Amino acid sequence: MTQHFAPIEGVSPPFDAALSETVVRIVDLKRRFGQTPAVDGVSLTVRKGEVLGIIGRSGAGKSTLIRCLNGLERPDSGQIFVEGREITGLGERELQPLRRRIGMIFQHFNLLSAKTVEENVALPLKIEGRPKSERLRRAAELLDLVGLADKAKAYPASLSGGQKQRVGIARALAAGPAVLLSDEATSALDPETTRSILALLKDINQKLGLTILLITHEMEVIRSIADRVAVIDAGRIVEEGPVWSTFADPRTEVTRSLLAGIRPQLPQAIAARLARTGREAILRVDIAGAAARRPLLSELATSISSRFRLIHGGIDNIQGEPVGTLFLGVATASGGVAEAVEFLNARNARVEVLGYVTDNA
């Protein structure tokens, strides 16, 4: 169960974080509300050009954490460095110019209803004191980037949720930030719109090389655009790593439970009938990287004496890496179960015997 996947030769991950410079560094950050710690000693590094996803259940402290990064929330202790400059301990006035280096998008968009789309996008520049002609030119550019050039003169109330978030993204980019913070930016959107907004963010990340730090409670969001994921629970980072390896080999219960929705699960009908003994053993097989590239099932069929069937599962592609979970039913009659476990273990697959069933279902 604790076997880890070996790195794969010849495949470079889409983003090589280790080679890049640091944009945001968080050191032992703590923030409590009354007696409850919301952020309890978080240390994290965000590197230039990467998309780092922070995932956690509601109340895990992710919102407090992200709001500390631009000083909307004051930490009790710990340090935050943005582009090498410490921001903790700065006053509101000193924070203002720094906040222009940090764009932010919100779950509920937070567009000003009394201003047109164009005025909303240009607002960060207005606050900065840039001349009007420059503001309008930049707003037009950004609206073009997010595909809303024709809505410049419209008011936010006339836009759909997805369009509003596009305006929010354009606005967050107006001042040319070093990092974009996304606070549950797709949580209020339907699945289709979510996909298009995530595609836009990924596109901006790749085209402009913009660093993105996003928080979410949906693994789907992490899978779509993050390079690295950090799982937060009760104010602590409990797990951190490249998305594909975290998906393939979740180390904590929290991560497993967050993954449950988008990874194959043993069908309920079978899970309910699992017993200590039976005619068929139910195996859960996790494979990733090299192990998932080989003709594993066909090799298994020729090397064990029992017959087996595929009950459920599949192979997903995350950051270009195959990550699979298969549920196999192996006949117990001729000692094939032990053979199967041994064979799969030898090929870097993680195997777990979940239980036994007797009648086929």
Classify residue 241 by burial, with Cβ atoms within 10 Å: 0-12, 13-18, 19+.
middle
CB 46 → other proteins: shortest distance, Å?
Answer: 17
Residue in 315, 331, 327 with CA at minimum distance from that of residue 267: 327
CB 239 → other proteins: shortest distance, Å?
Answer: 28
Both tokens of 333, joined, read 């009659």
* CA–CA dist 41, 306 (Å, integer): 51
Kindly tell me which of 119 and 249 has the beta carbon lying closer to other proteins.
119
Kindly tell me which of 111 and 344 has the beta carbon lying closer to other proteins.
111
CB 306 → other proteins: shortest distance, Å?
Answer: 60
* CA–CA dist 19, 256 (Å, integer): 29
CB 205 → other proteins: shortest distance, Å?
Answer: 20
Kindly tell me which of 61 and 156 has the beta carbon lying closer to other proteins.
156
CB 128 → other proteins: shortest distance, Å?
Answer: 7
Kindly tell me which of 63 and 306 has the beta carbon lying closer to other proteins.
63
Residue in 220, 133, 138 with CA at minimum distance from that of residue 177: 138
- Name the residue with tokens 């007797």: 358
R_g (Cα) of the chain, nearest Å:
24
Strand partners, 105: 182
Contact by Cβ (8 Å): 99, 180: no
Kindly tell me which of 111 and 282 has the beta carbon lying closer to other proteins.
111
Residue in 241, 266, 261, 236 with CA at minimum distance from that of residue 251: 241
Kindly tell me which of 151 and 171 has the beta carbon lying closer to other proteins.
171
92 contact partners, CB below 8 Å, separation of at least 6: 71
Residues in touch with other proteins (CB under 8 A)? 70, 72, 92-93, 95-100, 102-104, 106, 108, 110-115, 123-124, 126-128, 155-157, 171-172, 174-175
CB 54 → other proteins: shortest distance, Å?
Answer: 17
CA angle 294–297–303, rounded 5-degree value: 105
Contact by Cβ (8 Å): 229, 250: no
CB 174 → other proteins: shortest distance, Å?
Answer: 8
Kindly tell me which of 62 and 100 has the beta carbon lying closer to other proteins.
100
CB 32 → other proteins: shortest distance, Å?
Answer: 18
Backbone phi, then psi, for 181, in 5-degree steps? -100, 130
User: How would you classify the pairing of strands 51-55 and 211-216?
Assistant: parallel
Q: What are the angstrom distances between the C-alpha of 351 and each of 257, 281, 343? A: 19, 12, 10
Kindly tell me which of 103 and 264 has the beta carbon lying closer to other proteins.
103
